[in-house]
Amino acid sequence: MDIAAWHLRYLQQANWTRSLRDYLLGHIVDFQPDSILEVGCGTGAIQIDMLNRGIRFSVGFDVSLSSLVYAQNTATSSFYAQGDAHRLPFPNNFFDVVFCHYLFLWVKQPELVLAEMYRTTRPGGFVIAFAEPDYGGKVDFPLELGIINTWQMESLRRQGADPLIGRKLKSLFQSVGLNVNGGILGSEWLEIHGMDNVSNSDLENEWRVIRSDVQVLDQIPSQSELEKIYKLDLAAYTSKQRLSFVPTFYAWSKKN
C-alpha cells in the first residue's frame, strides 16, 4: 500500500472513534485544551479533527518521515516532529492533552511510551489512549470469514505488533502508576450503501489492508483463495449479514 492508501485507512479509523473523541474532549477533559500532542500521528488524520476543534497549538509526532511529510499537506496548521516515541523530545509538563490512536500495539515497550506521554503532560492535563484493538476477541459472521482475522493476527505478530494489546490497556496504565479510566468502544450495525461503487467503500479499504497484511505470512494465501474470501465478504455485506467486530479499548488518566 502506498502512503495515500494508508491515509484512507487512517481516515477510516478516525471515523470509527469520532464519537469517543467528542465524549472525552467534550465531557471528561474539563477545560478547552490549548495545546495537544499526538504521539504516532501518521498521515494527520486525527490532526484534521483536532484543528477543527479549535486547538491553538497542535503537534503531531511520528517515527515515519514520509507520513509526516504527507501530514504537513493534510493538516497544514499543525506542527510536526519526527522521532522515537520511547524518548519524546519535549519538556516536562508541557501539553494540556497528550494522546495516541492505534499506537501501543506497534511499539516495542508501550509502558515507556506511556510514561513519556505522562511526563510531557502538564498537571491537570490528560493522557488519553483513544483506541487499542484486541484481535483475539474479534467476532466474525459468516463464520467462514474468521480466516481473515487469523491472517491478520499472524501478520501483526510478524510485523512486531501485539494483536492482544487492547485487553492489556488498563494494566498498562496501572504499570506506570496512573489512575486509569476507560472501557471498550461501542458498536452499531453497519450498512454499507452504494455497493455498486465498491472501490470507494469501507470494504475495499479494508481489503487493501488485508491484501497487504498477508504478504508477510509464512504461507501466503493464493490469489484464488483471496478472491474466494473477498467474494464471500462482499456477498455478506451486500446482503447485510456481515458482522466484523474487533473489541477496541480506550483509557485516560488525569495528571495530578
Q: Given this model, what pLDDT does residue 127 score? A: 98
Question: Pairing state of beta strands 121-133 and 243-245?
Answer: unpaired
Q: With both helix axes pointing from N to C terminus, report the angle between 3-16 and 45-52 in degrees, rounded to the nearest 10.
A: 50
Rg (CA), the chain: 19
- What is the average per-residue pLDDT within 6-25? 94
Residue 216 in this model has a pLDDT that exceeds 80? yes
For residue 190, name the pLDDT band (cuts at 50, 70, 90): low
How confident is the model at residue 188, as a pLDDT? 61
Query: What pLDDT, in 10s, does the model give residues 147-183?
Result: 999 999 999 999 999 999 999 999 999 999 999 999 9
pLDDT exceeds 60 at position 230: yes
Total structural domains in the chain? 1
pLDDT of residue 132: 98
Grid look-up 465531557 returns 27
Angle between helices 146-158 and 223-238 (to 10 degrees): 130
| The pLDDT value given to residue 187 | 67
Using an 8 Å Cβ cutoff, are 39 and 61 in contact? yes
Can you tell me the mean pLDDT for 72-83? 96
**Residue 95 pLDDT more than 80?**
yes
Cell of 83: 522521532
pLDDT, the chain, mean: 93
Q: What is the pLDDT of residues 16-56, one digit of tens each?
A: 999 999 999 999 999 999 999 999 999 999 999 999 999 99
Rounded to two decimals, what is the model's pTM?
0.93
Q: What is the pLDDT of residue 229?
A: 98
At residue 189, the pLDDT reads: 58
Neighbouring C-beta atoms of residue 136, cutoff 10 Å:
14
Q: Is the pLDDT of residue 121 over 70?
A: yes
pLDDT of residue 205: 87
Mean pLDDT in residue range 102-108: 98
Number of residues that make up the chain: 256
Q: Which pLDDT belongs to residue 192?
A: 44
User: What percentage of the chain has pLDDT greater than the value 70?
Assistant: 95
Question: Residues 43, 74: contact at Cβ < 8 Å?
Answer: yes
Residue 141 grid cell: 459472521
Kindly report the backbone phi and psi dihedral angles of residue 83, in degrees, each rounded to the nearest multiple of 5, phi listed first.
165, -170
User: Burial level of 154, CB count in 10 A (0-12/13-18/19+)?
Assistant: middle
The C-alpha cell of 33 is what? 485544551
- Taking the CA atoms of residue 18, residue 56, residue 169 and residue 155 in that order, the dihedral angle to the nearest 10 degrees is 70
237-247 pLDDT tens trace: 888 899 999 99
Q: Name the pairing type of β-strands 95-100 and 121-133.
A: parallel
Distances (CA, A) of 197 to 87, 161, 241: 44, 33, 19
Domain containing residue 61: 3-254
Given a contact cutoff of 8 angstroms between Cβ atoms, the answer to whether 37 and 85 are in contact is no
pLDDT value at residue 194: 41
pLDDT at 201: 72
- Residue 204 sits in a domain whose CATH number is 3.40.50.150
